[in-house]
Structures are given as structure tokens and as C-alpha cells.
Amino acid sequence: MTLWWLFISAAGISLVFTGVIRRYALAHSVMDIPNERSSHTVPTPRGGGVAIVVSFLFLLISLGAAAYVAWVYVLALLGTGAWVAFIGFLDDRGHIPAKWRLLAHFVGAAWALYWLDGLPSIAVFGITLNLHWIGPILAAFYLVWMLNLYNFMDGIDGIASIEAICVASGGATLYVVIGHSQAAATPALLAFAVAGFLVWNFPPAKIFMGDAGSGFLGMVLGVLSLQAAWVAPQLLWSWLVLLGVFIVDATLTLFRRLLRGDKVYEAHRSHAYQYASRKYGRHLPVTLAVLVINIAWLFPIAYLIAVGILEGVIGIVVAYIPLLVIAVLLRAGQLEVLSKN
């Protein structure tokens, strides 16, 4: 019962604090003003993701104090989460050059990996692989990519919130399924914290998450996936499946833009989900499609991997191929033609 009160409190704090931030943003003109690269047409308050950060990190300390979560994990998430959110907040308020942002992101990743003790052994076709010194390097690049891809994918109403809730609640459920119920507390807490914000962010959004929120979610979900691998090696593959919608769209889009020689750090509207939202003229169908894909396609595959029915690498291939086909059909990463009107 105590845990459920913590979860409900996380949602409540996030809900109320998002409303406070929105009122402040409206009063002080902290607004996202649409331009030719935007997926929105109406000026909208931004910075609401700070409510997710505050509610999750505050109650994460409570989970640690109640011995639901080991303090090494609390410190990993607390330090890197607060740091990444702070960098995102500064970037929201005034632009930080890309190279310094990237350096700060690696600092945050290094902090988390220090407390996690790097990358655990990986299970591949029944063989346990220890990557030794290269493991932490790969893990650092993975966490930084997760952070940035989440920033890239936070471009239409509700999509980043829905994805975080699906991934975190899915990961928590898998813990319960394989008999590690206590480990489910942290991702469940994150899901509830995001749910409170989603009340304001659901299409049509009344407030945006901002870089402080999206970068925080990307990094925290990445850290949680590595934490899951320490609990059970196959869970890393399960979490990568759960994150499939964002990983496939963002990676394919980045790859195509790199091949074309685009400045990848500049804003654009060439992700698959952005093309889809313009095709259907609304954000809601696309956001709901992400929800359905996560529940009906990705979670069942992640479950089969977690319980040992499906090999992790094969599960990734099976899960990602349809997503890749959809992204290609939706023109992910192709050069966008902007109207001159």
C-alpha cells in the first residue's frame, strides 16, 4: 500500500506542478513560438517536463529510504537525472552550443555508469559476453544517444509522454513476471510521474515538455534499461524492444540526414512521426498509433524475451523490421520540402 501511495503522489505532484509551471510560463511569456520547422501552429507554454523531474527524483529518494531501491541506483538516477535536466533547462532558456551540450551529456552518462558499475554481461544466443573495458564506452554512447533521440522524438503532442509511460510500465511489468517485483518500483514511479504531466500534454497539448523533460526521460530510460540488464541479462533486449518506436525512427532519420550531409543538430521535421502528423493533419492519431504499437506489438515480444521463449537478438530483429518498414514508407529522414507561402 505504501508503494501505491508513492505512485499516486508522483502523479499528483506532477499534475499540480505542471499546472503551476504553465501559469508561470503564460505570465512570463515562456512560450514555444511556431516556425517553419515546427509541428505546431499555436504558441504554447513550455518547460512542463520539470514537473516530471521533480516528482520522480523527490519520490525516488523516498524509495531509497524505504529500501525499495538500492542507493547505488538512486544515486545513479538522481545525479545524472538532475544534471541532464539542468542542462536542458539552461538550453530551454538560452541556447547552449551543441559541443558543450554533448560534453555535458557524456558527463551525465559517466556519473550513472560509475554507480551502475558499467555495462553488465550481455546474453547472446545463450552465450554470456563480457565486453570488459569497451562495455562502459559503448554504454556511454548508448545513454547519450538515448537522451538525444528522445529530444528529437519529442515533436508532437503527447508522443514522448506516451512512449515513456509504455516503456516504463512495460519494464515494470516484466520485472513482476520474472519474479523481481521489488525492482519494478523505479520504472513504475517514472510511469506515474509522466502520467501526471500527460494530463496537460495530451493532444491538443496545453504545455510542452521542453528539453529539460525530454532529455531527462531519454537518459533515465536508458539508465533503467542498463539497470534491468544487471537484474537479468535478457531484460536489456526486452527494454530495447520496448524502446523500438523511438530508436528506429530517430536512428533511421539521423542516418539518412548524415548521408545527405545535413547539419544534424539543426531543427527539422523529417522524422516519420512528423511526416505522419502532417499527412493526417492532427497529432492525436499518430500519438495513439504509438500507444497501440507499444501495447499490441512491442510488449508481447519483450515479454517473450524476458521469459526465455525468444532469443533477444532475434526478438530485436522481429520487432524492428515492421517499424523500419513503416518509417521508410513514412519517408523518415527524407529531405522535407518547405512551403514558400
Query: Alpha-carbon distance 322 to 310, whole Å?
Result: 17
Q: What is the mean pLDDT of the chain?
A: 93
Three cell numbers at 14? Answer: 506532477
Q: Which pTM value belongs to this model?
A: 0.96
Query: Alpha-carbon distance 30 to 22, whole Å?
Result: 9
What stretches of 202-233 show up as alpha helix (H) in DSSP?
A: 210-231
What percent of the chain has a predicted confidence (pLDDT) above 70? 97
pLDDT tier for residue 340 given thresholds of 50, 70 and 90: very low
Query: Alpha-carbon distance 73 to 98, whole Å?
Result: 29
What percent of the chain has a predicted confidence (pLDDT) above 90? 83
pLDDT at 341 over 60: no
pLDDT for position 53: 98
Residue 273 vs residues 241, 282, 329: alpha-carbon distances, Å = 18, 11, 11
Q: What is the pLDDT of residues 69-101, one digit of tens each?
A: 999 999 999 999 999 999 999 988 878 898 999
Residue 125 vs residues 199, 231, 310, 319: alpha-carbon distances, Å = 42, 18, 10, 17
pLDDT for position 261: 87
Query: Alpha-carbon distance 179 to 255, whole Å?
Result: 39
Query: Alpha-carbon distance 188 to 256, whole Å?
Result: 35
Burial, 98: exposed, middle or buried (Cβ in 10 Å; 0-12, 13-18, 19+)? middle
pLDDT at 145 over 80: yes
Query: What would the mean pLDDT of 313-335 be, rounded to a whole number?
Result: 96
Q: Cβ distance 31 to 25 under 8 Å? A: yes
Q: What is the pLDDT of residues 106-117, one digit of tens each?
A: 999 999 999 999
* Cis peptide bond upstream of 204, omega within 30: yes
Beta-strand (E) ranges in the chain? 31-32, 44-45, 122-124, 127-129
pLDDT at 232 over 80: yes
The residues facing 129 across adjacent strands are 122
pLDDT at 295 over 70: yes
Query: Alpha-carbon distance 161 to 32, whole Å?
Result: 18
Query: If DSSP codes are grouped into helix, strand and coil, which group holds residue 75?
Result: helix
Query: Alpha-carbon distance 111 to 134, whole Å?
Result: 17
pLDDT for position 126: 77
Three cell numbers at 33? Answer: 513560438
pLDDT tier for residue 37 given thresholds of 50, 70 and 90: low
pLDDT for position 36: 66
Which amino acid belongs to residue 125? Answer: F
pLDDT for position 137: 95
Query: What would the mean pLDDT of 21-46 be, rounded to a whole number?
Result: 86
92 labelled ligand-binding: no
Residue 71 has, within 13 A of its CA and on its CB side, a CA count of 2
pLDDT for position 9: 97
Q: At a CB cut-off of 8 Å and minimum separation 6, what does 47 contact? A: 21, 25, 30, 89, 92, 207, 208, 210, 212, 213
Q: What is the pLDDT of residues 268-284, one digit of tens each?
A: 889 999 999 999 999 99
Q: What is the pLDDT of residues 236-271, one digit of tens each?
A: 999 999 999 999 999 999 999 999 888 877 778 899
Question: Which helix or strand (DSSP H or E) is residue 323 part of?
Answer: helix 312-329
pLDDT at 2 over 70: yes
pLDDT for position 305: 97
151 labelled ligand-binding: yes
Query: What would the mean pLDDT of 49-68 be, rounded to a whole number?
Result: 96
Point out the least confidently predicted range of 131-140, 236-245, 300-309.
131-140
Dihedral class, residue 296 (left if φ above 0, else alpha if ψ from -120 to 50, else beta): alpha
β 44-45/127-129 pair status: unpaired
The residues facing 124 across adjacent strands are 127
Three cell numbers at 17? Answer: 506542478
Query: What would the mean pLDDT of 44-53 be, rounded to a whole number?
Result: 96
